[in-house]
Structure 1
Amino acid sequence: MEEGSSILSEADPYIHTLGAILSLPVIVYPIFFASLILLLLSALISGSEVAFFSLSPKQLESCKNSNKPNSVSIVRLLSNPKLLLATILILNNLVNVALVTLSTYATWEISGRDNENAVFILTILVTAAIVFFGEIVPKIYATEKNLSFARMTSRVLYIASTILKPFSWFLMIISDRLERRFQHSGYDVSMNELKQVVDMTTTGNEDKELLKGIVSFGTKTVKQIMCSRIDITAVDVEDDFHQLMDKVNKCSYSRIPIYNETIDKIEGILYVKELLPFIDRDENFEWQQLFKRNPFFVPESKKIDELLRDFQQKRVHMAIVVDEYGGTSGLITMEDIIEEIVGEINDEFDDDEGLEFKRLEKNLFTFEGKTSLNDFCKVVKVDPSIFDGAKGESESLGGLLLELFSRIPNSGETYDFKNFRFTVVSVDKKRIKSVRVLIRDKSVYPPQADVSP
């Protein structure tokens, strides 16, 4: 009897616990299971936000090439990321509110509606469960397994986005209006201010120039950095093989445009490496069959950052720049674009004689008139925007002086513009060939010359 009573006494706590559980109101059990389901849904929704918006371009490309329903849903959802984000936020808040409401109701049923301490403790426990199991854990997992997590939740989110679309659109409209209202009070930093920040925060000249190139990279157009029409080395399709090889040997370029009758009618690009097996042929060799690559044409106004992406996608290194009438305006290469960030790239064929300027003294230079304003500003270390009000449509130093003089000047004429004194050294009937530039003390800025016609 003593042994039996001792066993019963040891089992007493478990019996009391089981009795307490069995004595709970019947409605508490479904609420408990519903709360667990809601917590699981909260975890899936929170993790899906990280999963969808951390997909790499390669993963998105694989989804686009897949016919599986989950992959198709991912592509459709990410076609409107704002709508997807609004759907996730609405769902997450609905689930969390439902979870807190059910938990509070279950606590009232167990401890009574007047037990404030129980409700307070429950609030802390539910908040901790939502933060840990509904936010932290799923987002960590979704970061590691973003594609599989996105596929797992894509169908549910796609259905939810369709059902909740009116509410999502309403949320997006409010968000857009608030964004437009407060965007003026945010940080509106101009390009000049960014460059000033670079000047103040970097000490090394190389690092400073590299950062300046990155800052201004997206603002430059093809016209600003292209090789102008007059400097293009091209070959007439009617030239014989010896004439072609003579031009190839003189220019040392790896790619040469081929035109028919006039340079405005460029028909293709010849790769010099394709001539190597035929260098011993005579002048009657029909080399025209070798250039099979169609030229890539771009407008003058195209941004160079967009052109760089086009070069990468099309796997080309050269583009023909055309004006508004379709005529050839210039030529631009991959090297020209990269030089806007890293500076001049010189190979074994580049030498000092090929430079378009010469430094005579510390603040005295001679430039060829065809030198682009972009390159001129790099040499003299000034912001290109200093000439915005004076250059008109010109992008070369000679063009700037034509705008300033409003005519073709005579040799020896000078023009003062801000802290620059331009002296025309050589000129012909059509263009300014050479200019001498004196840079006066930058602390002294004379009144800007009148540049109106």
Structure 2
Amino acid sequence: MEQLLPQIGLILLLILLNAVFASAEIALVSVRRSRIDVLAKKGDRRAAAVARLLKGDPGRYLAAIQIGVTLAGFLASATAAVTLAVPLQNIFQNVPVAAVNTNAQGIAVVITTTLIALITLIYGELVPKRVALQATERVALLLGRPIHLFSRATRPVILLLTAATNYSLRLFGLKPGVNEDQVTEDELKQIIVNQSTLDREEQRLLWDVFDFGDAVAYDVMVPRTDVVGVETSTSVADTLRLMSETGHSRIPVYGQNLDDIKGIAGIKDLVPYLLRGEEQAPVEKVVRPAYVVPNTVPIRQLLRDLQKRGVSMAVIVDEFGGTDGVVTVETLLEELVGEIRDEYDREDQEILSSEDGQAIVKGSAGVDEVNRQLKLAIPESEEYHTIAGFILDQLNKVPKAGDRVTLDGTVLEVAKMKANRILMVSIKKED
């Protein structure tokens, strides 16, 4: 029995080696890359090794791990079949049953390899993988560098196996490296909804990221009817007074009308004129060139362009070159993170009151925001984005105060008009 101890020790060592590779595979696939990058930037050498491994081709280190698992398992079974099967064979040869003693060698090999396979499966695969799932980061940091070195040492073998694998795929008409199992945006949104560890605000932020990628300038601009601007002949003093009254730090300057934008006046450029006693100077002396973009430009591109140019406001034009509205950097950021309010902002709620089953909302209120706050299901469309737009779409005419639209038991009534514009809408349940 003593002479078998070295062989048993070798078999246990190979099973342990199998466990190392199995746990490394799960840990490296499951570990959070962002966390590893943070640790690497802080100077953690183990994290740096893992980061290098993850940034490369995952197929290489996974192939290296598979080589390790296969070799360890094969050698463990082969060693057991050669060494441990012999004493077991001697036992079966002494059994007074002809069918047993005549097939003693085969029975011994089957029992030995089956036993080693079970031990390897439990302690070389299942248990270490469970451990790696529960302590992913620690296992990845512990084994990342050894796996990285093993991957480099077995690189020639990996290249050979990769070439053989790619050739086999081509024989079946498949292209190597093509992965059709991509996660779609809708699937990601469903993952966010099902993720119990995210609170409602975190879910909203993630959803807003998707919406931000889809929206164009027309969707988020301040419409022409709400644009605050001044004529070129307006004095610096009057312009500053208007800015103070409206809370704007920059406004468009136009010639004959808003379709003739001459530039943008900013408060930082106006104040020096006031300090020099030139408050009666025309504002056209102070304007900076306006950045003009079409209303179809994606807002993520628009945000990058504004940052690159170092400007805070863009003038949005329609297909005919007329002014459609304006967009500021603050407007774009609010689309992503929600409303940004500072001590100079005035309260400007879209939903003015909501009590006794009735709500008063501005016509400019977004359909999605009204649906979210009032828990309604007003249909959204590419043809309109506001409550006023929805009512106009339903009535197909310029409404007057008192006109109604009924939708699934909910009544939307025009409460206040200004010329042809819907200012206020009353929303209540149908009697």
**TM range, normalised to the smaller chain?**
0.5 to 0.7
Q: Counterparts of 2:412 and 2:155 in 1: how far apart (Å)?
A: 66
The answer on whether the counterparts of 1:398 and 1:433 sit within 8 Å (CA) in structure 2 is yes
Change (3 A) 1:154 1:276: farther
1:420 paired residue number: 411
- Cα drift, residue 190 of structure 1: 7.3
CA–CA distance in 1 between the matches of 2:151 and 2:81?
A: 37
Please name the residue that 2:140 is paired with.
143
Specify the alignment match of 2:242 in structure 1.
247
- 2:376 aligns with one of 379, 382, 387: 382
Which of 38, 42, 46 is the matching residue for 2:21?
Answer: 42
User: What residue identity is the alignment partner of 2:33?
Assistant: S
Q: How many Å apart are 1:231 and its aligned residue?
A: 1.6
Equivalent residue runs for 1:427-442 within 5 Å: 427-428=418-419, 431-441=420-430
Q: Residue 250 of structure 2 contacts residue 266 of structure 2 at CA under 8 Å; is this kept in 1?
A: yes
* 2:396 aligns with one of 389, 406, 409: 406
For 1:387, what is the secondary structure of its paired residue? coil
Does 2:116 match 1:108?
no
CA deviation digits over 1:56-103, x for unaligned, max 9? 5956997xxxxxxx999768636xxxxx2x554444334322322222
1: CA distance between counterparts of 2:286 and 2:160? 56
Identity of aligned residues (%): 15
The residue number in structure 2 matching 1:228 is 223
Change in Cα spacing, 1:343 to 1:97, as seen in structure 2 (3 Å) is closer
TM-score under structure 2 length normalisation: 0.60
Q: Cα RMSD (Å) of the superposition?
A: 5.9
Structure 1 residues 27-69: Cα deviation after superposition (integer angstroms, max 9, x where no partner): x99x98x96997599379638835986255956997xxxxxxx
Match of 1:5 in 2: none
Q: 1:164 pairs with 162, 165, 171, which one?
A: 162
CA spacing shift, 1:381–1:152, aligned 2, 3 Å:
same
Q: Is the 8 A contact 1:47 1:149 kept in 2?
A: no
User: Distance in 2 between the 1:61 and 1:278 partners?
Assistant: 52
- What per-residue deviation string (whole Å, max 9, x for no partner) do you get for residues 99-143 of structure 1? 222222222222335424543453355453566789958965553
Matching of residue 370 in structure 1 with residue 364 in structure 2: yes
Aligned counterparts of 2:33 and 2:292: Cα–Cα separation in 1: 34
Kept in 1: contact 2:228–2:251 (CA 8 A): yes
Structure 2 CA distance, aligned partners of 1:371 and 1:321?
Answer: 21
Secondary structure in 2 matching 1:249 = helix
Q: Determine the C-alpha separation between the residues in 1 that align with 2:137 and 2:406.
A: 64
Give TM-score, length-normalised by structure 1.
Answer: 0.58
Q: Within 2, Cα distance between the matches of 1:158 and 1:276?
A: 67
| CA displacement, residues 382-416 of structure 1 (integer Å, 9 cap, x when unaligned) | 24xx223xx55122233222222212234544443
- Matched to 2:240, the amino acid is M
Say which is worse superposed, 132-141 or 231-240, in terms of deviation: 132-141
| Contact in 2 for aligned 1:356/1:371 (Cα 8 Å) | yes
- Distance in 2 between residues matched to 1:141 and 1:289, nearest whole Å: 64
Deviates more, 1:167-176 or 1:118-127: 167-176
Once the 2 structures are TM-superposed, how far is the Cα of residue 280 of structure 1 from its aligned partner? 0.7
1:324 and 1:154 map into 2 onto residues whose CA distance is 57
Aligned partner of residue 275 in structure 2, secondary structure:
coil
Change (3 A) 1:21 1:152: closer
Question: Does the 8 Å contact 1:77/1:158 carry over to 2?
Answer: no
The one-letter code matched in structure 1 to 2:325 is G
Q: 1:335 to 1:263 in 2, by over 3 A?
A: same
Tell me how far 1:228 sits from its aligned partner: 1.8
Displacement after TM superposition at 1:379 (Å): 5.4
Shift in Å at residue 248 of structure 1? 2.6
Q: Residues 58 and 72 (structure 1 numbering): CA distance in 2 closer, same or farther, change over 3 Å? A: closer
1:319 to 1:421, Cα distance in 2 relative to 1, 3 A: same
Q: Partner of 1:451 in structure 2?
A: none
Which 5+ residue runs of structure 2 have no aligned equivalent? Answer: 42-48, 87-104
Structure 1 segment 51-450 matched on structure 2, within 5 A: 54-56=33-35, 77=56, 84=58, 86-110=59-83, 111-112=85-86, 114=106, 115=108, 116-124=110-118, 126-127=120-121, 128-129=123-124, 141=138, 143-144=140-141, 160=158, 164=162, 167=165, 170=169, 210=201, 213-214=204-205, 216-217=207-208, 218-219=210-211, 221=215, 223-234=218-229, 241-256=236-251, 272-273=267-268, 279-281=274-276, 282-283=278-279, 295=291, 300=296, 302=298, 318=312, 320=314, 322=316, 325=319, 328-333=323-328, 336=331, 347-351=342-346, 354-355=348-349, 358-359=352-353, 362-378=356-372, 380-383=374-377, 386-388=378-380, 393-418=383-408, 419-423=410-414, 425-428=416-419, 431-441=420-430
- CA gap of 1:102–1:380, structure 2 versus 1, over 3 A, is closer
CA distance in 2, matches of 1:107, 1:416: 80
Is 2:21–2:65's contact at 8 Å kept on the other side of the alignment?
yes
Contact in 2 for aligned 1:225/1:336 (Cα 8 Å): yes
Comparing 217-226 and 49-58, the one that deviates more: 49-58
Residue 387 of structure 1 aligns with an amino acid whose one-letter code is: P
Is the CA contact 1:296–1:319 (under 8 Å) kept in the aligned structure 2?
no
How far apart, in 2, do the equivalents of 1:251 and 1:321 lie? 19
* Consecutive unaligned residues in structure 1, runs of 5 or more: 1-15, 63-69, 79-83, 202-206, 445-453
Residues 141 and 286 (structure 1 numbering): CA distance in 2 closer, same or farther, change over 3 Å?
farther
